Amino acid sequence: MIEIITAEQAHKIIDTGRPYGSFLRIQKDGTFTGIDNTGGEAFTEDFKDLKNCLAYLNGADLEDCLELEGYK
Query: Residues 18-69: pLDDT tens digits?
Result: 999 999 999 999 999 999 999 999 999 999 999 999 999 999 999 999 999 9
Q: Provide the strand spans (E) within the chain.
A: 2-4, 21-26, 32-37, 43-47
CA distances from 7 to 24, 64, 69 (A): 10, 26, 23
pTM greater than the 0.85 cutoff: yes
Rg (CA), the chain: 11
Contact 27, 48 (CB under 8 A): no
Return d(Cα 39, Cα 29) in angstroms, integer.
29
